[in-house]
Amino acid sequence: MKKRLLFLIGAVALLFTAAACSIEEPEASLRHLDFDVNVDSDLPGTRAVKSSWETGDKIYVIFDNYLSVNMEENNESPCYATLVFNGTKWEGSFSNPALEQYLLGRSEGRLAACFIPFYEPTFRYSTIFGVDIVDPNRPYTYYMTGEDVPYTISGGKLSATLPMTLSTFVHFYLGGLPDATSGRYRMNCASILASRASGGYYDRGKPVWGSSNGYYGGDIPGMPYQGGVSFSGRLMEYNNGRENLYEIVVTDTKGTETIEDDYVYTLTKTTTLTFRDAVVLPPLTDPVWSLKKPKREMYAEWGLEGTFEKEMGYERPYEWYIDQGSTGACSGVNCGPASSVMAAKWYNYAFTGTVEDARAEIYNNGGWWYTNDIDAYFNAHNIAHTTKPFTSTDDVVWEINMGNIVLLCLDMYYITYGNQTGKRVNKFYNTANKGWGHFLLVKGYVQTSTKLYYEVYDPYSMGRTNPDGTPMGRSRYYDAAEILQSAGIWWPNMIVVGDN
């Protein structure tokens, strides 16, 4: 909806000295500049963004090419005006007194205005941006601009109409979160670009404001607002006004940096979004959201015994688990190549080799790989690794704590079978006889009050999945004591992958 607000802003009168700039020295009498400003805006009428101005709102204004032609004289001080709403009217001030004196000597010109919500930027002089926003960790949030706007000055009064627009932003409001802090909740969507204001500058004869962008699908922090959080980003131009399937992912980080604490909510909906839309999302308690809880809250449900005490492990922001069941003609015996390629992908995010490639490099007549084959493969692909004795369950715990992962060769006959629906402990496939040699990776561990479990990537899923669709061998939990016993019978060593 259109909001047209008329504000009369009186700047505090100041007495200046000639040292501030290169303009003529002002008269000794008091001089000041008033503002007679009309503000037009296209604020949506929901709580996704502001629907009216609030106490403390600020609009930052730059003028003409003053920023670039007067920097040396102003000791490279950023020059801009700030309009602040005090609840009943807007009040104005200047960052540098020389700017006010410059304007008093003009009759007309062009300006650019910018409203930035949720935080107060710190400006500095920049050779690229006349006023550059300093804060590198400022949040990605919407901003409104009025660019290349004409102004006139007569009788000590500056008159202008500021057409503040939201441009290509779309907005989402998530209510019912009174405990929200800045950045605790994060949203991402493949069609929405994280964006934020970067500064004001003079571009091809026009004063404008620039942006600093993240990437489509990147995290957008939720900013606390009226008992909930507000998310905003730029909608992909192709999707503007088109019906599209959107997947909105909201993560509750619980205010910590570790992803192990995250609650991840996903909402999928086919709808049409247009620039400047404001959407009120259903509360996170609504069953339309699918919820992925932190692993530590799932351990009991997955079958781990005892009370949770400690966990350690290393995730990657990309998929690196491999099911050997889909690795070609030798898939039945590809645990060695599959475990090796998984380790390579974990070690080097840019690694592009496949299990089929590994099998072609070391064919072994289509049969088993041995530990010396894995050593040769790692050497050929510059994967840092060391072979060490495996004589205690603490040996693997130590390596995980150091930031490494461990590749083991076991006789799986000695690992307990427990293929119960929804459980993720114990072996999920039959091994009828002794001598069932198998490679797998240990990527973490969980200590409970009664037992130590290794979190493993077992490649022998063979197409089998958990109820949530994930491969059964991905993040499986095996009794560490049984793993040690099995390795002692089969191969009492471990291949440690990593630089630590």
Q: In this predicted model, what pLDDT tens digit does every residue of 410-423 receive, in sequence order?
A: 999 999 998 888 99
pLDDT at 1: 39
Q: What's residue 131's pLDDT?
A: 83
Return d(Cα 293, Cα 319) in angstroms, integer.
Answer: 19
- C-alpha to C-alpha distance for 201 and 91, rounded to whole angstroms: 23
Q: Which residue, among 69, 85, 78, has the nearest Cα to 35 in the 3D structure?
A: 85
- Res. 294 pLDDT band, cuts 50 70 90: confident
CATH 3.90.70.10 domain locations along the chain: 299-497
Distance of CA 185 to the CA centre of its chain: 10
Pick 265 or 100 by higher pLDDT: 265
**Mind listing the pLDDT tens digit for each residue in 110-168?**
999 999 988 889 988 776 657 888 888 888 999 999 999 999 999 888 898 888 888 89
Instruction: Give every CB contact of residue 332 below 8 A, 6+ residues apart in sequence.
Output: 324
The reported pLDDT for the residue numbered 95 is 87
CB within 8 A of 500, min separation 6: which ones? 402, 403, 404
Mean pLDDT of 359-380: 96
pLDDT at 257 over 90: no
Q: What is the pLDDT of residues 202-249, one digit of tens each?
A: 888 889 999 999 989 999 999 998 899 999 999 999 999 999 999 999
pLDDT tens-place string over residues 459-495: 999 999 999 899 999 999 999 999 999 999 999 999 9
Query: Residue 176 and residue 285: Cα distance in Å, rounded?
Result: 9
Q: Give residue 442's pLDDT.
A: 98
Q: What average pLDDT does the segment 385-407 reach?
A: 97
10 Å Cβ neighbour count for 29? 7
Answer whether 441's CB lies under 8 Å from 374's CB. no
Burial of 242 (0-12, 13-18, 19+ CB in 10 A): exposed
Neighbours of 162 (CB within 10 A): 26
- Could you read off the pLDDT of 431-441 as tens digits, one per residue? 989 999 999 99
Residue 316 reports pLDDT greater than 70: yes
Over 70: is that where the pLDDT of 30 sits? Answer: no
Q: Is the pLDDT of residue 44 over 80?
A: no
Enter the DSSP assignment of 222: P
As a whole-number percent, the residues of the chain with pLDDT over 90 amount to 63
- Of 152, 170, 468, the closest CA to residue 290 belongs to 468
What is the fold of 299-497?
Cathepsin B; Chain A (3.90.70)
Calculate mean pLDDT across residues 28-33. Answer: 56
Q: Does the pLDDT of residue 13 top 80, yes or no?
A: no
User: Rounded to an integer, what distance in angstroms lies between the CA atom of residue 316 and that of residue 437?
Assistant: 28
Provide the pLDDT confidence category of residue 15 given band limits of 50, 70 and 90: very low
Mean pLDDT of all residues in 187-192: 94
Q: Mean pLDDT of all residues in the chain?
A: 87
- Mean pLDDT, residues 193-210 taken together: 89
Give CA–CA dist 191/168, Å, rounded. 12
pLDDT band at residue 328 under the 50/70/90 scheme = very high
As beta bridge partners, residue 250 has 187, 265
Under a CB-based contact definition with an 8 Å cutoff, are residues 472 and 336 in contact? Answer: no
pLDDT of residue 70: 54
